[in-house]
A and B are shown apart, each in its own frame.
Chain A
């Protein structure tokens, strides 16, 4: 998937990812497993902890200068949370951050969420490697002028 020069560049500047758990739900097994898998794949991972509002997530992403936000939502609140988060990213000029979503997302909501700007949705049973590869291939490289 990834080309040679890009891999070399990543080794110099590891990809930075914010793994975030918005909404009221506390089921964090998936978020923690994915955080560790991304870390094992050489990325720098910041895990927000539970019950983060879109505002908190966007603030943390900008402060931490991440290239990717990974959201974990299992409760069905995605249609309320995602549009707010995407609007805030745009407002703050941070909409170059890659946003991916994991969790239980009904098939009928996928189109809407992609229109909102979610780059990929990883449902239950997605191999860890698929998520890792997708993020590697799609983040905007660091260290380049915007």
Chain B
């Protein structure tokens, strides 16, 4: 049995360029007899302000997706590859069949609906625990934890850098004690939980595992997802602590630990969501996210892990933006691309390793602070795109999220939007209903081709970590977001309620979080530090530092002796805080600061 390594994998190159349009006689007749006179009578006009940028060199109107990709008037069989019908396995297959364009489940949503997983967290663990119980009671299928910025950056609530930030963007978690409160009364063997935490992911995961253990839950049975995707932090969201190499090592530690002890838990959610929010086009989101996946696989193989030991638990996370068909094409293409990479490039043998499973969240960046109720319509369209794209789970944004964290009412409407899609619209009854649409299939193929072109570029740079160090994805995003801002400024792209259809407005009722959370967390930390054994904490943090400084190497069926996870678990059990554990790792690894790309 040969194991693929980073060195011997063949580089997968882009498929051949798009088809040359081979127009049928019938279509030609339509062009001559019906279309031409119609155009002569009433020419097409750009949607949005006519600035010249949205006209072709010949003066005809130019239509583009929100990502700037040209969209044609009509798609016909002439827009599919000539061998489309001869090679279903190459292009489409059937559901749950390679290349998985049509989805990973043979019965789509008929056997099981997507999981309605609403991301939520604010203020103290006590308050968030109440919101979780409310969401579960309202029919939410799983939980998704939003942590506050100090937690995301590895600082305790009482740290100087945490001033003004505690409990604002998510829930404040300082120690195991807070995690116990967060999940009190929630059965972790039965509830799947996703945690949006990256740089300190292994610390928060360890806390979660210990709470599960206290509840008597079996680690082999618990399921959920750790975001743990540090690469997109360097690219987009910028919540990193340590430099890339040690950060990648911590991620691979969780892959190794998870494959041995928590077989149903996804140790990573490779995320395009934040890449898109930072201004990427749909194609850039797709390409950079999947290539991040490639980078994680390469690092895990270098550790000595077998691809089929960890790949089945790699999961993905995409954004669903306003441009309906472009998004559906992106989702469909993503599964096919991942399948091709896992088979051609990494020689994964198990079908589970070849399947892309993903979570989707509607685009926060598309929400407007103006006329916020309009966001309910945007979210519904975006959510529909995610469902038609075959997502496994979905978060729908609340209409007031351009202003603040959502109120309970706004959060309920967001969940109800998914329930209306699932139970009333009928879209869940047929698998991949847009399969075979000339337009959607053409867009899907273009997404795939575009992604592989990016992969060639990134391969040539020596991988994603190298590309990040050169600022490549960062600069691509900055350029795209500026071009979009410019198009909005020029009203080439209309945002209803913002640059057109504007009205006078009164302020919206929002969820307001004051500074008191920091005080109550600080008080809790003071009591905790007085109560726990300081000598024990000091000893365990020292042991973690030692392990972190050593180079881990996988041994078959055993965890690397330098894997940090067991040491972090020990620290957590002794009630060492997030800040203290991250500080110990900062001592060993140092911190990262990006060069400024503007």
Contacts and interface: CB of A to CB of B under 8 A. Distances in A.
Nearest to B239: A26
B279 interface: yes
B568 to A, nearest CB: 22
B513 interface: yes
Interface string A5-33: 00000000000000000011111110011
Contacts of B596: 47-49
B594 A50 contact: yes
Given A32-B478, A32-B481, A33-B481, A23 B515 contact: no
A37 B488 CA distance: 13
B149 A75 contact: yes
A76 B169 contact: yes
Interface string A110-140: 0000000000000111011100000000000
Interface in B60-97: none
Given A25-B169, A32-B478, A78 B499 contact: no
B165 A24 contact: yes
A125 B370 CA distance: 8
A29 B169 CA distance: 17
A97 interface: no
B467 interface: no
Interface residues of A, number: 34
Most buried by B among A80, A108, A129: A80
Interface in B468-514: 477-478, 481-482, 485, 489, 495, 498-499, 507-508, 510, 512-513
Contact of B164 (A49, A50, A76, A106): A76
Interface string A35-55: 111000000010111100000
Contacts, number: 108
A25 B149 contact: yes
A32 to B, nearest CB: 5
Contacts of A29: 277-279, 365, 477, 481
Nearest to B499: A127
A128 B485 contact: yes
Nearest to B365: A29
Given A32-B478, A75-B169, A127-B489, A49 B404 contact: no
A106 B169 contact: no
Given A77-B163, A79-B164, A80-B515, A125 B238 contact: no
Contacts of B482: 32-33, 36-37
A72 to B, nearest CB: 12
A23 B404 CA distance: 17
Contacts of A81: 164
B513 A76 contact: yes
B368 A124 contact: yes
Contact of A75 (B168, B508, B512, B515): B168
A144 interface: no
Interface residues of B, number: 46
Contacts of A77: 149, 163-165, 168
A37 B359 CA distance: 34
Given A29-B279, A77-B164, A125-B369, A104 B404 contact: yes
B58 to A, nearest CB: 29
Contacts of B598: 32, 35-36, 45, 47
A26 B593 CA distance: 12
A113 to B, nearest CB: 13
Nearest to A34: B485
A23 B169 CA distance: 12
Given A26-B233, A49-B596, A75-B169, A128 B404 contact: no
Nearest to A81: B164
A1 interface: no
A42 to B, nearest CB: 16
A23 B594 contact: no
Contacts of B489: 127-129
A124 B233 CA distance: 23
A81 B510 CA distance: 21
A37 B485 contact: yes
Contacts of B153: 24
Contacts of B402: 104, 124-125
A39 to B, nearest CB: 8
B237 interface: yes
A107 interface: yes
Interface in B565-598: 593-594, 596, 598
Contacts of B508: 107
Contacts of A47: 596, 598
B196 to A, nearest CB: 13
Given A36-B482, A45-B598, A77-B165, 18 more contacts: A23-B164, A24-B149, A24-B152, A26-B233, A28-B238, A28-B278, A29-B278, A29-B481, A32-B481, A49-B594, A50-B238, A77-B164, A78-B164, A80-B163, A107-B508, A124-B402, A125-B499, A128-B485
30 contacts: A23-B149, A23-B165, A24-B150, A24-B152, A24-B155, A24-B239, A25-B149, A27-B237, A27-B238, A27-B278, A28-B278, A29-B278, A29-B481, A33-B481, A33-B482, A35-B598, A36-B598, A50-B238, A75-B165, A75-B168, A76-B404, A77-B149, A79-B164, A80-B163, A80-B515, A104-B402, A125-B369, A125-B370, A127-B499, A128-B489
Counting from the closest, the 10 A-B pairs by CB-CB distance are: A80-B164, A26-B238, A77-B164, A76-B168, A107-B507, A24-B149, A49-B596, A125-B498, A124-B369, A47-B598
Interface of A: 23-29, 32-33, 35-37, 45, 47-50, 75-81, 104, 106-108, 123-125, 127-129
Interface of B: 149-150, 152-153, 155, 161-165, 168-169, 233, 237-240, 277-279, 365, 368-370, 402-404, 477-478, 481-482, 485, 489, 495, 498-499, 507-508, 510, 512-513, 515, 593-594, 596, 598
